[in-house]
Amino acid sequence: MNFSAPPPLNPWTTHSVEVVDVVPEILGVATYQLRFTDPLVRAAYSCVPGQFNMLYLPGVGEAAVSVSGHDVAGDAWLHTVRTAGGVTQTLAGLGIGGNLALRGPFGTSWPVERFPGSDIVFVAGGIGLAPLRPAVEWALDHGDRLGRITLLYGARSPGTVLFASQFDAWRDRGLCIDVTVDRSDPGWLGRVGVVTLLVDRLRPLAPENTILLTCGPEVMMRYVARAALDRGLSAEQIWVSLERNMQCAVGFCGHCQLGPAFICKDGPVFPYDRMAPYLNTEDL
């Protein structure tokens, strides 16, 4: 995935996609590899790290899901989904070879390419690592343009660490990874505590030359941002990815409006200083 502008696929048109692979990740979460059935659409579609698609299950509904990567050939797109309600349960029941529809891509991107030479700190909580993964991959692919790249990750328990099998390969490519869990179990030898503590402990840190990108539960992102501000980062150096109930995905219906912004078209990735006053606001 790169940062070239996506082509203008009609945002209202759904396109048929096939489930070509399903990888169970942690309990209740799987990664679905989706490929457009129409080769012309397959060739035309592109997206940038941080963007999302609307997955449509006929007769059930639509849900926003972030792109969490792509296959080796670059023509099937990964979506890491927690089974929640109607759409995601139906998706989980499809299996390989199943069909659904997709429209997209939508939204803004993580700004990693805009800060050459900077240290990048990714802070993820739970399934929030999925929308960050394409940006982590991009940063590792372009490590020569960036400074130190760090991932701070918090999960509820050792069994819910997302993409854990990928961590050694990421470390080999130069990513500094620090993981913590809220509750340990007898086999866990790592850290215990909230992910904010990892921001407090982060060494070395050159605040003037660092950007921090965070995705996870909103309360986590607020505390992470506060910890980063305490460490000397300014609010403009912090980026968050927000979620709200989403319907049209093109800034038309107003369901995802938060303060002055529509999460679907002005976000989901925002500079923290823009959205900080609204982060306590509930869904409409």
Ligand X SMILES: Cc1cc2nc3c(=O)[nH]c(=O)nc-3n(C[C@H](O)[C@H](O)[C@H](O)COP(=O)(O)OP(=O)(O)OC[C@H]3O[C@@H](n4cnc5c(N)ncnc54)[C@H](O)[C@@H]3O)c2cc1C
Q: Which residues bind ligand X (CB under 6 A)?
A: 52, 61, 63-66, 80-82, 84-88, 127, 130-131, 243-246, 268
CB of 128 to ligand X, least distance (A): 9
Q: Which is nearer to ligand X, 52 or 118 (CB)?
A: 52
Q: Which is nearer to ligand X, 130 or 227 (CB)?
A: 130
CB of 184 to ligand X, least distance (A): 25
Q: Which is nearer to ligand X, 11 or 61 (CB)?
A: 61
Q: How far apart are CA 149 and CA 162, in angstroms?
A: 19
Beta strands in 58-186 (DSSP E): 61-66, 69-70, 77-82, 99-106, 119-125, 149-155, 176-181
CB of 200 to ligand X, least distance (A): 27
**Residue 78 burial by Cβ neighbours in a 10 Å radius (0-12, 13-18, 19+):** buried
Answer yes or no: are the C-beta atoms of 276 and 235 closer than 8 Å.
Answer: yes
How would DSSP label each residue in 176-240? Answer: EEEEEESS--TT--SEES-THHHHHH--S--GGGEEEEEES-HHHHHHHHHHHHHTT--GGGEEE
Q: Which is nearer to ligand X, 61 or 193 (CB)?
A: 61
CB of 195 to ligand X, least distance (A): 18
| Phi, then psi, of 138 in degrees rounded to 5 | -60, -45
Within 10 A of 123 (CB to CB), how many other CB atoms are there?
A: 31
**Residue 271 burial by Cβ neighbours in a 10 Å radius (0-12, 13-18, 19+):** middle
CB of 26 to ligand X, least distance (A): 12
CB of 4 to ligand X, least distance (A): 21
Q: Which is nearer to ligand X, 48 or 205 (CB)?
A: 48
Residues 6+ apart with CB under 8 A from 180: 152, 153, 154, 155, 190, 191, 192, 193, 194, 195, 197, 198
CB of 171 to ligand X, least distance (A): 24
Q: Cα dist. 38→42, 94, 110, 193, 203 in Å?
A: 6, 19, 29, 47, 49
Q: Which is nearer to ligand X, 61 or 98 (CB)?
A: 61
CB of 247 to ligand X, least distance (A): 10
By beta-carbon distance, which residue lies closest to ligand X? 85
Q: Which residue has the tokens 């070509």?
A: 20
Q: Which is nearer to ligand X, 65 or 136 (CB)?
A: 65
Q: Which is nearer to ligand X, 7 or 85 (CB)?
A: 85
